């Protein structure tokens, strides 16, 4: 039985991050090279296949340049601890890679030798994240937080329900098809788009309704998407509301910063409003779990979460001219003071 959902999910994650300013890594043919599974990165023990390999929109000053590997898991069911441990091992093996030749070792042995004592290569620090279309088990989060492994979940949020449905429908077609060439075409097309984005790749015979729906859903998300980075490094995928929803914005906008609200319909989906634009985002699970455990204190804890995690957000997005744009927004102090005063008044009345 053929399956293409893994490659469909990889392509979606790749396009999601590139649309917000992450940059594809160009293979150098030695340290990073194209292989049949995808882009390969040299490690201390062996080269490793990477699902998605990108450079961040900005680099940290006075530090080695960084790269991001995203391991994409499109499984039926939440991801367990084994996958996260594998990601930690992958990160350690790649970051411990070093080229040492006989000549370099001899020159190290003889300090008076003027020859090279290390291999002259550009060095990077690799971070490894794990993306899951069906979320993560609760046992994963303490381990991932302890080892600074970012987790990206697309499980329950209605924000990404369209792409989950499109991937599922395409995979069902592949599973039911006796035409293995169709599966190979889709996998080859998506692999080429990830490995060689600079090259023009044609759809060939893939111009059918379900595949077009998948591509169009990604394009719609790209058009509306902004990535937010919290001060602790947590990534938020902020999806701009449709134009008809923006009529709500004027009642809540503040000139001194953004406002954040939780949704009555879906508590895991929160709403950010900034300068006349409304965004929806899924509250990261560790933050949501902390909030959910405080039954009966939801409003108080919501305010605490806003102050502790959302006081400053760095936004990465693209303008209409497709140029990168980085901005910093801050939580409106007026908005927070009004909310805290209202909560205090309510407590006094009770």
Is residue 26, in this structure, part of any structural domain at all? yes
**Are 58 and 187 found together in one domain?**
yes
**Are 148 and 121 found together in one domain?**
yes
Quick one: angle between helices 298-309 and 285-292, nearest 10?
A: 150
Q: Is the dihedral of CA 137, 138, 139, 142 positive or negative?
A: positive
Q: At a CB cut-off of 8 Å and minimum separation 6, what does 110 contact?
A: none
Q: Are 258 and 329 in contact (CB under 8 A)?
A: yes
Per the confidence metrics, is the pTM higher than 0.75? yes
**Are 69 and 129 found together in one domain?**
yes
Q: Is the dihedral of CA 277, 308, 282, 233 positive or negative?
A: positive
How many angstroms separate the CA atoms of 337 and 119, rounded? 57
**Are 70 and 109 found together in one domain?**
yes
Q: What is the CATH number of the domain that holds 170?
A: 3.40.1350.10
Q: What is the pLDDT of residue 298?
A: 63
**Are 155 and 293 found together in one domain?**
no
**Are 92 and 182 found together in one domain?**
yes
Starting at the earlier edge strand, list the strands of the sheet with 52-55: 23-24, 52-55, 66-73, 125-132, 151-153
Domain range for 110 is 5-206
Confidence of residue 245 (pLDDT cuts 50, 70, 90): very low
**Are 274 and 168 found together in one domain?**
no
Q: What is the pLDDT of residue 159?
A: 83
**Structural domains in the chain (count):** 2
How many angstroms separate the CA atoms of 314 and 235, rounded? 10
The residue among 290 and 17 whose pLDDT is bigger is 17
Confidence of residue 13 (pLDDT cuts 50, 70, 90): very high
Beta bridge partners of residue 313, listed in sequence order = 230, 329
Q: Are 280 and 238 in contact (CB under 8 A)?
A: yes
Is residue 217, in this structure, part of any structural domain at all? no
Indicate the residue among 155, 179, 206 that finishes a domain.
Answer: 206
């Amino acid at each position: 039985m053929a399956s293409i959902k893994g490659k469909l999910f990889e392509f979606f994650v790749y396009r999601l991050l590139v649309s917000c300013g992450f940059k594809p890594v160009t293979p150098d043919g030695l340290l990073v090279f194209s292989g049949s599974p995808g882009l390969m990165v040299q490690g201390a023990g062996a080269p490793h296949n990477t699902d998605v390999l990108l450079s961040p929109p900005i680099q940290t000053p006075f530090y080695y340049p960084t790269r991001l590997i995203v391991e994409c898991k499109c499984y039926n069911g939440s991801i367990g601890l084994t996958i996260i441990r594998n990601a930690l091992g992958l990160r350690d093996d790649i970051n411990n890679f070093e080229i040492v030749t006989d000549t370099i070792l001899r020159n190290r042995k003889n300090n008076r030798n003027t020859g090279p004592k290390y291999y002259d290569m550009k060095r990077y620090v690799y971070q490894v994240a794990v993306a899951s279309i069906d979320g993560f088990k609760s046992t994963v989060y303490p381990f991932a937080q302890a080892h600074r492994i970012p987790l990206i979940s697309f499980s329950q949020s209605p924000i990404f329900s369209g792409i989950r449905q499109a991937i599922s429908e395409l995979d069902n077609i592949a599973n039911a098809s006796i035409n293995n060439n169709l599966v190979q075409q889709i996998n080859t097309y998506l692999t080429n788009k990830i490995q060689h984005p600079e090259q023009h790749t044609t759809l060939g015979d893939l111009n059918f309704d379900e595949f077009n729906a998948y591509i169009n859903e990604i394009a719609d998300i790209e058009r509306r998407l902004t990535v937010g980075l919290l001060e602790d490094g947590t990534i938020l995928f902020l999806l701009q509301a449709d134009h008809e929803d923006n009529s709500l914005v004027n009642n809540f906008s503040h000139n001194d910063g953004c406002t954040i609200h939780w949704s009555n319909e879906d508590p895991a989906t929160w709403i950010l409003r900034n300068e006349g634009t409304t965004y929806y985002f899924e509250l990261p699970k560790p933050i949501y779990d902390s909030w959910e455990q405080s039954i009966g204190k939801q409003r108080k804890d919501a305010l605490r979460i806003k102050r502790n995690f959302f006081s400053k957000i760095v936004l990465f997005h693209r303008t209409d001219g497709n140029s990168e744009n980085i901005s910093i927004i801050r939580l409106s102090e007026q908005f927070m003071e009004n909310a805290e005063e209202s909560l205090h008044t309510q407590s006094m009345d009770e």
